[in-house]
Amino acid sequence: MLPEIIVHDSLRVLTSAQLAESFKTDSKTINRNFQRNQNQFELGVHYFALTGEDLKTFKGERQNDVTLKYVSVLYLWTEKGAFLHAQFSKSKQAKEAYRALIDSYYTMLEKPLTEKSQGLTISLADFQNLESRLVALENQMHEVTLHSGEQLRLRKAVNERVYQLAEQKGARRVLFRALYSAIKERYQVGSYRDVKQHQLQDALSFVAKWGGEAS
């Protein structure tokens, strides 16, 4: 069953509750992922935040929606915002749900049925536009850096490798500096935190195989 269609600022959007239901999770998880990665979300691009009279009006139009009862700030997620949530969830199910939302909600074309056709049609131009939007979103996601949990995984890998290579504290300090320097040089970043998400597995493998060479 498709979510209730909500249009804000000429864009189709989903509430946190709707997005959570589509991803088979809960609103707390959606909000937690947002808080942990808030620097990746841009207001007006990935989401809208309704407060005050705007929120009051929104609630008034949906008086039977119990998920809105105690909400003081309502987040509405755009197609791009849903894409980020799908990536941050690290769930195959969420990514599949995102694809379904693209097909059936965010880009659904409202065209009248003809006498000869009993389904919605999509033109080549519409299809190419949808395809280019997906490519643009995937390119954007290619630049997303490690979130806090992934940063922790990389730090743990560094710690494990350094302790494997040296037992003395003095030697470990040197190795820590050398390994973090090697990571920054390999991925051309100012900090290990700036490693891209799609590079995480490569980074973990690099750390595990690192032999203690100074950069």
Do 164 and 137 share a structural domain? no
Residue-number span of the structural domain to which 23 is assigned = 6-108+132-141
CA atoms in the 13 A half-sphere facing the CB of 100: 14
Q: Is residue 46 part of a domain?
A: yes
pTM of the model: 0.49
Q: Is residue 123 part of a domain?
A: no
Average pLDDT over residues 70-74: 88
Helix axes 148-165, 169-187, angle to 10 degrees: 130
195 confidence band (pLDDT: 50, 70, 90)? very high
The fraction of the chain above a pLDDT of 70, given in percent, is 78
In the prediction, which pLDDT does 115 show? 39
Q: Is residue 120 part of a domain?
A: no
pLDDT at 113 over 60: no
- The mean-pLDDT minimum among 124-128, 153-157, 168-172 falls in 124-128
Q: Is residue 114 part of a domain?
A: no
Please state the domain count of the chain. 2
In the prediction, which pLDDT does 119 show? 44
In the prediction, which pLDDT does 43 show? 93
The dihedral built from the CA positions of residue 61, 67, 72 and 76, taken in this order, carries a sign that is negative
Q: Is residue 136 part of a domain?
A: yes
Do 101 and 21 share a structural domain? yes
Average pLDDT over residues 50-60: 90
Do 154 and 137 share a structural domain? no
Among 141, 164, 186, give the residue marking a domain's end: 141
Q: Is residue 119 part of a domain?
A: no
- Strand 74-77 relative to strand 47-50: parallel, antiparallel, unpaired? antiparallel
Do 169 and 96 share a structural domain? no
In the prediction, which pLDDT does 102 show? 76
For the chain, give the mean pLDDT.
81
Do 163 and 136 share a structural domain? no
Do 96 and 13 share a structural domain? yes
Do 153 and 61 share a structural domain? no
Q: Between these two residues, 210 and 87, which has the higher pLDDT value? A: 210
Do 196 and 154 share a structural domain? yes
Q: Between these two residues, 134 and 164, which has the higher pLDDT value? A: 164
Q: Is residue 201 part of a domain?
A: yes
pLDDT tens-place string over residues 164-191? 998 766 788 899 999 999 999 999 999 9
In the prediction, which pLDDT does 65 show? 82
Average pLDDT over residues 139-155: 82
pLDDT tens-place string over residues 75-85? 999 988 888 88
Adjacency order of strands within the sheet including 47-50: 6-8, 11-15, 74-77, 47-50
Q: Is residue 102 part of a domain?
A: yes
